[in-house]
């Protein structure tokens, strides 16, 4: 009876065939085409394309801004998840729904809004520019929009874990004389570290591929505020399709590595919880 209940969908052969067809048409075929297109370049051409001064500057900015944004999201997302789970207050459900706004909002809209706010004559920029803080058309602006797009990943990863934490462990630690900080450090933090790392990795991966919001606030100046996806689009506009694909393959390979890390973190989180 238990075996029969697990076979609600069609048989294994049909289900596996549909799955493989989907993966082949929508995932494997495009990825294979990218590698084949990049292979049309000679070895020296590939090196000149993916390791030029401009490309290295774009990689440095892309990975650096993504890492900083993911760190900020880890800190802010942890605090937001903690407040939403642990403290009842008026408007909590509304605030909780706002967390998912970056999922529903087109990222280009976010880029336009942030560039308008932090421009020299914007609502915030008019106060920040005189003291030397340039929010729009700068690296700071890139980090800000990446924080906006990646925040939900940390919050939504931590919330279920916080909700399922047994309060008896905290009560037991308190009854044994542990302070609030000791309870957090030795009881709560070990349980929250795996999902926090997972949320950080997800936010980092999301930031690496972000394009729509960044192009409006970055200024897209080579060697200064040009991220790797913008460089790829620039190569496409120059009809240098093979070079653009070679740059895309670099990000793709790093994404594969990051995906493996995320899967390992998720397995670690599940095994820790069990």
pLDDT tens for each residue of the chain, 274 residues long: 455 556 666 677 777 888 888 888 888 888 888 888 888 888 899 999 999 999 999 999 999 999 999 999 999 999 999 999 988 889 999 999 999 999 888 888 888 899 989 988 889 999 998 898 988 889 999 999 999 999 999 999 999 989 888 777 777 877 878 888 888 888 888 888 888 988 998 899 899 888 888 988 988 888 999 999 999 998 988 899 999 999 999 988 888 888 788 778 777 766 655 5
Residue 65: is it exposed, middle or buried by C-beta count within 10 angstroms (0-12/13-18/19+)? buried
d(CA 246, CA 249): 5
Q: What is the pLDDT of residue 55?
A: 94
Q: Which alpha helices (H) appear in the chain, and where do they start and end?
A: 2-5, 12-23, 29-39, 43-50, 53-86, 92-98, 101-104, 107-118, 125-128, 139-164, 167-175, 180-183, 189-208, 214-217, 228-237, 241-273
All residues at 6 or more sequence positions from 195 whose CB lies less than 8 Å from its CB, including other chains: 157, 158, 160, 161, 269
Sign of CA dihedral 119, 120, 126, 127: positive
**Torsion angle, alpha carbons of 222, 200, 182, 172, to 10:** 170
Task: Report which DSSP code applies to 176.
Answer: T
Q: Report the chain's C-alpha Rg in angstroms.
A: 23
Q: What is the pLDDT of residue 8?
A: 62
Domains and CATH numbers, the chain: 49-273 (1.10.3720.10)
Give the predicted TM-score (pTM) of the model. 0.85
């Amino acid at each position: 009876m238990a075996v029969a209940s697990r076979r609600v969908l069609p048989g294994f052969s049909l289900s596996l065939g549909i799955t493989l067809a989907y993966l082949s048409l929508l995932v494997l075929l495009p990825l294979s085409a990218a590698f084949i297109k990049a292979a049309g370049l000679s070895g020296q051409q590939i090196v000149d394309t993916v390791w030029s001064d401009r490309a290295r500057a774009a990689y440095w900015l892309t990975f650096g801004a993504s890492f900083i944004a993911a760190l900020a999201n880890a800190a802010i997302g942890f605090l937001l998840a903690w407040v939403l789970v642990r403290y009842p207050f008026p408007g909590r459900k509304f605030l909780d729904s706002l967390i998912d706004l970056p999922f529903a909002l087109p990222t280009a809209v976010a880029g336009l809004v942030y560039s308008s706010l932090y421009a020299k004559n914007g609502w915030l920029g008019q106060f920040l520019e005189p003291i030397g803080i340039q929010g729009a058309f700068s690296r700071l602006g890139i980090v800000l929009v990446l924080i906006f797009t990646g925040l939900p990943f940390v919050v939504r990863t931590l919330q279920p874990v916080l909700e399922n934490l047994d309060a008896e462990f905290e009560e037991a630690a308190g009854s044994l004389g542990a302070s609030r900080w000791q309870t957090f450090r030795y009881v709560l933090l070990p349980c929250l570290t795996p999902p926090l790392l997972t949320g950080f990795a997800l936010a980092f991966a999301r930031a690496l591929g972000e394009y729509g919001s960044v192009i409006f606030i970055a200024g897209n100046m080579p060697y200064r505020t040009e991220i790797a996806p913008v460089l790829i689009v620039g190569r496409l506009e120059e009809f240098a399709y093979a070079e653009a694909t070679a740059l895309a393959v670099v990000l793709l390979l790093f994404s594969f590595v990051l995906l493996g890390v995320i899967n390992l973190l998720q397995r670690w989180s599940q095994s820790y919880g069990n």
